[in-house]
């Protein structure tokens, strides 16, 4: 599954520094606006201790983790929705992503220029929110103009429903609120899903702080938490500078000692990757054999045939059954054969809903 999270924010908030820490791809990071002109894409592994433990037991030839793509998108300024700065390019790039990682500057440093002259994460957030909302409003109004006549004069039920949903979203956007905060159901949103509205995408707010604030946060972080409390969005506190220093250390032991000295249990990058994965409402199942132990990404709620289709479409088309071992059982008994002998291998059919952590083997015929 090709899943993308776009890193957005005003110029000079630490987006590119954070991207460099997340990915082997290197975005140019410098102390001036619009440093990143073209979107940089990095494929990153999702840290999952379960995969490591399975590999220790199975001892496979290779281990393949889940991955997601992180896109570093050019900085945004006021007026982007009308093409100011790199606005049109920015909005076009973000439209193709599945979720948004919104980086907010929550530290003071006179040596790092702020595009608006002062540090105010709430103002910065509102600038980007407004630009995305204005762009969506323009998109919604254009669609209303196309369906309004059919909705009011014809007998097209879908047109009427679409017009009704568009009208609700239009009013919401005009009040300065993002489309994802409406009470419209996911099913009803499908009527306008082809619009791929920017403010429907789930958001993870990343507060970029200084070293002194990385454990407990600061006043800027508290303001952000208060501002987004009604958005059903997660807030992470990370120091991009610290993460950059961690990437310079050669060994795992050195990195852990560095984190211990700061009072941190793990790096902010690992927290961010997992949070992005969660933001996309994803789950993981595993296949485990001597050739390969592998994590597979699925949407929560996938049936066994749908999960099989992630490996290959033929697996879904010719699905017969799935042999399932729960992760904890596999760890307890140590192998597939031991789980079978203990009666911990279940045979499931087409209606089985895959659970996060399931270890699966599919039987199919094409």
CA distances for 98 relative to 267, 277, 282, angstroms: 24, 11, 12
Strand, helix or coil for residue 145: helix
Model pTM? 0.81
**Interatomic CA distance for residues 187 and 365, integer angstroms:** 33
What are the beta bridge partners of residue 299? Answer: 282
pLDDT digits (tens, 9 = 90+) for 38-57: 567 888 888 889 999 999 99
One-character DSSP codes across 32-95: STT---SPEEEEEE---HHHHHHHHHH--SEEE--EEEEEE-----TTGGGT-TTHHHHHHHHH
What φ, ψ does residue 61 adopt, rounded to 5°?
-70, -30
Token readout for 229 is: 């409390």
17 is in an annotated binding site: yes
Where does residue 271 rank: exposed (0-12), middle (13-18), buried (19+ CB within 10 A)?
A: middle
15 is in an annotated binding site: yes
What per-residue confidence (pLDDT) applies to 89? Answer: 61
pLDDT digits (tens, 9 = 90+) for 236-287: 999 998 988 888 887 878 888 988 988 888 888 888 888 888 888 889 999 9
pLDDT digits (tens, 9 = 90+) for 80-127: 545 554 445 667 778 888 899 999 999 988 777 666 678 899 999 998
Strand, helix or coil for residue 213: helix
14 is in an annotated binding site: yes
Beta strands in the chain (DSSP E): 4-8, 40-45, 62-64, 67-72, 99-105, 203-208, 234-238, 282-288, 292-299, 319-325, 345-348, 359-364
13 is in an annotated binding site: yes
Provide CB contacts within 8 A for 93, sequence distance 6+: 6, 39, 71, 73, 74
pLDDT digits (tens, 9 = 90+) for 303-352: 999 999 999 999 999 999 999 999 999 999 999 999 999 999 999 999 99
Domains of the chain: 4-45+67-118+202-279 (3.40.50.300), 131-199 (1.10.150.300), 301-364 (3.10.20.30)
Name which of 314, 316, 312, 296 is nearest 358 in CA terms: 296
What per-residue confidence (pLDDT) applies to 152? Answer: 80
């Amino acid at each position: 599954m090709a899943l993308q999270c776009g890193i957005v924010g005003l110029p000079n908030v630490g987006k590119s520094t954070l991207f460099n820490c997340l990915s082997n791809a290197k975005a140019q990071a410098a102390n001036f606006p619009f440093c990143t002109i073209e979107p940089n894409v990095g494929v990153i592994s999702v840290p999952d201790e379960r995969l490591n433990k399975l590999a220790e037991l199975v001892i496979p030839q290779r281990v393949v983790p889940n991955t997601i793509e992180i896109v570093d998108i050019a900085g945004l300024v006021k007026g982007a929705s009308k093409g100011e700065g790199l606005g049109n390019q920015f909005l076009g790039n973000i439209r193709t992503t599945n979720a948004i990682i919104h980086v907010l500057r929550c530290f003071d440093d006179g040596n790092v220029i702020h595009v608006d002259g002062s540090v105010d994460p709430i103002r910065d957030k509102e600038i980007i929110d407004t630009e995305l909302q204005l762009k969506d409003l323009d998109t919604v109004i254009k669609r209303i103009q196309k369906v309004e006549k059919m909705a009011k004069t014809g007998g097209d039920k879908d047109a009427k429903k679409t017009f009704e949903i568009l009208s609700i979203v239009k009013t919401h956007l005009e009040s300065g609120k993002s489309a994802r905060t409406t009470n419209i159901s996911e099913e009803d949103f499908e009527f306008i899903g082809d619009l791929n509205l920017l403010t429907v995408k789930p958001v993870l707010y990343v507060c970029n702080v200084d070293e002194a604030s990385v454990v407990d946060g600061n006043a800027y972080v508290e303001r952000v938490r208060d501002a987004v409390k009604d958005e059903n969005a997660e807030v992470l506190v990370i120091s991009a500078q610290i993460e950059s220093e961690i990437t310079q250390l050669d060994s795992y032991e050195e990195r852990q000692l560095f984190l211990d000295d700061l009072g941190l249990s793990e790096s902010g990058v690992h927290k961010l990757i997992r949070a992005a994965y969660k933001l996309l409402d994803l789950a993981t199942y595993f296949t485990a054999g001597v050739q390969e132990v592998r994590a597979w990404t699925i949407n929560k709620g996938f049936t066994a045939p749908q999960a099989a289709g992630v490996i290959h479409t033929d697996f879904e088309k010719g699905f017969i059954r799935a042999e399932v071992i729960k992760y904890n059982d596999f760890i307890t008994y140590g192998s597939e054969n031991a789980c079978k002998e203990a009666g911990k291998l279940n045979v499931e059919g087409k209606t089985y809903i895959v659970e996060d952590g399931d270890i699966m083997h599919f039987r199919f015929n094409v």
